[in-house]
Amino acid sequence: MSDQSISYSNLLEQKNEIMKASVGIDYDQYKIGKIAFDYEKMLADTGYKIEDIEKIQSESGVGNTPLKELKNISALARKHSPKGYGARIFIKDEALNDSGSFKARRASISCYQAKKQGYKGVIAATSGNYGAAVASQAAKYGLKCIIVQECYDSRGVGQPEIIEKARACEAYGAEVIQLTVGPELFYTFLLLLKETGYFNASLYSPYSVLGIETLGKEIITDCLKVTGKTPDAVIITNAGGGNLTGTTRGIRKATDNKVQIIAASVNLKGLHMASDNDFNRKSFTTGHTGFGIPFVTNPDRSDVPRSAARPLRYMDRYVTVNQGQVFFVTEALTALEGIERGPAGNTSLAAAIAIAREMKSDQIIVVQETEYTSAGKHHQAQLDFAKKNGILVEFGDPHLEVPGKSIILPRSVDDLFVEDIQLDYLRESYLRNVLKGVESISEADIDYLIKETNSSHDYIRRLLDEFNIRQEEQL
């Protein structure tokens, strides 16, 4: 970076101009009310239909991953279920994409668009698999790539999982800029976009989210091919919400049958994601409540003016699992199925085993993704890192786990459980965020809020009355 003299506040004042130049989208044109915007038009104006995306991805090493039944794990869940219960569990093995995760689908369209519009390079702010995906796809298109990571605490100690992902990004040819936790991430990201003129390969752009729709469509077509019917439930690990948004949209384009969409996150209640003290006291860097809940209740807190990830529109249920449960299930997947995969998809798998025991044996659950694992992403590396940071690791009752203090590994499948987050609580939190400082709204705003919260006119009107927000008269 050449110019560190620009103040944080001065750079933030230029945010909208920088974003518009780096994504090529004028977000202001989609405003249709005080708070509403034309979400579907924003997506449609990209010009990409799902058939176009399938073609692009098929030419860039992305998609058409196998759907695999976990017969041994399904049998184990059934053994620990009441008679006649224990659903069949399948995984969509997204680790077989180039770069090793479903995020190759997001990156494929972002990089394709960057190349199409004549950008020389792409930038992404991410500590996750998306960085490796963007770097991989950028290499295919001959684009330069910069990945900005929150990697270290103030002592210079880095998360093993994040360090491993940086290694992957560099292997694909990206320049990786590693930062300590805190507000410098967004400052650095904006400054790089301004100085380089590169494309903002944001996780939350329409291009990124549309790229995931093919995954939802494949889940339906694969499940019909393998089982003769559509899945009863699809479980999706939830962080920023793009994964759930894109997959659900793809499912709905492929079938009119009701498929329950279940979001799953690791419970990190009590840990603050921007806290230097808490940064290395968590053993999951994505797919946890520290991202999941804030992005559900305030989706536009992202690195674009209007996020294309709107998870509250699409989820039917939101559950959490504890860290120890995910590590237990990661080991079970390896030992029982001979498949070694990383932590994000195994978050959903842990939830799936618990939920399968609630469902009948002829029902089908699809765990929507897997991801690659190696080095610091491996669960043994994460558990060792936790111990070095003073976290108690032991077998016992996972209900007693306290994030940042302990990781309790279940003693058996009987100890696996999910905790439900009430959707009405999330809806109310979302409404409080979006309506802050608003005194009146239009009918267009109300229609928008109904869609945003996946609720009803009566529900929205009741909460507006509680918040003392009046509806404007129509002209």
Q: For 60-99+209-420, CATH number?
A: 3.40.50.1100
Is the pLDDT score of 178 beyond 80? yes
Residue 4: what pLDDT? Answer: 58
**Spatial contact of 144 and 169, defined as CB atoms under 8 Å apart:** no
Residue 421: what pLDDT? Answer: 98
Average pLDDT over residues 365-388: 93
Is the pLDDT score of 259 beyond 60? yes
Residue 3: what pLDDT? Answer: 56
Fold match, 8-55+101-208 / 60-99+209-420: yes
Residues in the chain: 475
Q: Which residue has the higher pLDDT, 316 or 376?
A: 316
Residue 2: what pLDDT? Answer: 46
Tokens 């991989």, located at residue: 136
Residue 1: what pLDDT? Answer: 44
Is the pLDDT score of 253 beyond 90? yes
pLDDT in tens, 457-471: 999 999 999 999 998
Average pLDDT over residues 14-21: 88
Average pLDDT over residues 160-171: 92
Residue 358: what pLDDT? Answer: 96
pLDDT in tens, 223-232: 999 999 999 9
Cα separations in angstroms, 166 against 177, 274, 278, 383? 9, 20, 21, 20
pLDDT above 70 covers a percentage of the chain that reads 99
pLDDT above 90 covers a percentage of the chain that reads 85
Q: Where are the domains of the chain?
A: 8-55+101-208, 60-99+209-420, 423-471
Angle, CA 244 vertex, CA 126 and CA 229 arms, to 5°: 140
pLDDT in tens, 65-109: 999 999 999 999 999 999 999 999 999 999 999 999 999 999 999
Residue type, 107: A
CA-CA distance, 110 to 118, in Å (whole number)? 12
Residue 5: what pLDDT? Answer: 65
Is the pLDDT score of 198 beyond 70? yes
Average pLDDT over residues 251-262: 98
pLDDT in tens, 304-325: 999 999 999 999 999 999 999 9
| 3-class SS of residue 195 | helix
Q: How would residue 188 be classed by pLDDT, with cut points 50, 70 and 90?
A: very high
In 229-323, the DSSP E strands lie at 233-237, 260-266, 317-321
Which overall architecture, per CATH, does domain 8-55+101-208 show? Answer: 3-Layer(aba) Sandwich (3.40)
Which residue(s) pair with 237 in the sheet?
264
Name, in order, each residue with C-beta under 8 angstroms of 159's C-beta and a sequence gap of 6 or more.
Answer: 127, 151, 279, 280, 285, 376, 385
Q: What is the chain's mean pLDDT, rounded?
A: 94
DSSP character for 146?
Answer: E
Evaluated on CA atoms 333, 335, 338, 339, the torsion sign reads positive
Is the pLDDT score of 25 beyond 80? yes
Is the pLDDT score of 360 beyond 90? yes
Angle, CA 228 vertex, CA 222 and CA 232 arms, to 5°: 80
Q: How would residue 7 be classed by pLDDT, with cut points 50, 70 and 90?
A: confident
Q: How would residue 12 be classed by pLDDT, with cut points 50, 70 and 90?
A: confident
Residue 270: what pLDDT? Answer: 93
Q: How many other C-beta atoms are found inside a 10 Å radius of the C-beta of residue 211?
A: 33
Residue 9: what pLDDT? Answer: 85
